[in-house]
Amino acid sequence: MEGLSVIIPVFNKIETTLRCIESVMEQNEHGSFEIIIIDNGSTDGTQEVFLVDKKIQNPPSPPFAKGGNTPLTLSPLERGAGVCNRGESSPPLEKGDVGGFSEQITYIRNEQNLGVAQALNLGAGAAKRGVLCFMHNDVFVLRENWTAEIRNFVMQTSNAGVVGLYGAKTLRRDGSFRGKTIVHAEEVGAGLKPAPTSRKKPFEKVAVVDGLLLAMKKSVYEKIGGFCEDFKVHYYDKDVSMRALKNGFDNYALNIPFEHACGTTRDQIKTDDAIRDEAQRKFIEIWRDHLPADVSTWREKVGWLFR
C-alpha cells in the first residue's frame, strides 16, 4: 500500500510519546501514513491511554526469529490503523487522551520488555505500508511533510537500503563512528550538536544509519532479515545497516532537521553500560571481517585534511 508506516517502540514516558505523535500529525497534515506504537510493558499508564474505547489483543508472534534471519508468518491485526489525512489542526494531546487519532494508530502491547529490536520487528509485521520508518519516541522532525519526503526518497532511489537522519561514512573497527565522517542535518534542533562539517547536500551516502530514525522499503527489510533480536537496545541499527551494505544496497542520511531528546528510554535502564559493552562485543564478533566500513570518497578524505 502506498504511504509510510511510522513504527515507534515505547517503554513508559507517555508524555514524550504523546508529544511525538502530536509532532508527527502536525508536521504531516495531508500525508498518507499510519502510526504503530509497540509498548514494551510500560507501567506508567501508557496502556490505559491507548486503550480508551479500544479492545486489546495479545500481540502477534514476532515476524522474525531470534537472530533476525528467518521470516515468520504474521497474521493481520484487527486494529484501527488508517490513513492520516487531517484537514484542520487538533488540540494538543494530553495524558489519558489520544484525541481524534485513535483510529489512525495501531497499538501493540507486550507484557514484558522484549527489547528494541524485537519491538521493531513486531511493528514491521503489523505495517500495511510499503515503506517502514522506525523512530524513537523522543525524536521530533522539524520539517513539514517529512513522511512524504522520506517515502519519496526511499521509493525513487532504486538501490536505497537504510535511510535516516543521522549516520556516518565510516564505521571503525571497534564499531564506533565519530568525527568528521558523521552526517546529519545542517540545521538541528535543541539537544543535538552541529555536524562536524557543513552538510549542504539534500542527502549523502553513509556506511551506517543511527536508529533514532531509519527507514527502508518493506522489500529491503524482508531481504536483509529484519532486525537481529540479539541486539536488545544497542547496535541493532549498525547491524541492520551492515546487512544492507552486505546485500548490495546503499545507505543514506537525509538533510532533514530534527530534535532528539536523547535516551529518554535508556535512562531508565540501570545496566545500560553493561548492555552496550556486550552488544559491542557481539557486533564486532559478527562483523570483524567487514570492519572498518567506509563509503567516503577520496575527495572527501582529502577535504577533511584541510578542515
User: What pLDDT, in 10s, does the model give residues 136-172?
Assistant: 999 999 999 999 999 999 999 999 999 999 999 999 9
What CATH code is assigned to 4-305? 3.90.550.10
pLDDT, tens digit, 9 for 90 and up, residues 258-269 = 999 865 555 555
Whether the CB-CB separation of 127 and 7 falls below 8 Å is answered with yes
3-state SS, 5-72, equals EEEEEECCCHHHHHHHHHHHHHHCCCCCEEEEEEEECCCCCHHHHHCCCCCCCCCCCCCECCCCCCEC
Q: What percent of the chain has pLDDT over 90?
A: 63
Report residue 203 as a C-alpha cell: 542527502
Burial class (CB in 10 A: 0-12, 13-18, 19+), 27: middle
pLDDT band per the 50, 70, 90 thresholds, residue 178: confident
Residue 93: predicted pLDDT: 45
Longest dimension (CA), the chain: 60
pLDDT band per the 50, 70, 90 thresholds, residue 278: very high
The answer to which of 11-25, 179-193, 228-242 has the lowest mean pLDDT is: 179-193
Residue 301: predicted pLDDT: 66
pLDDT, tens digit, 9 for 90 and up, residues 62-87 = 444 344 433 332 222 333 332 222 23
Residue 201: predicted pLDDT: 87
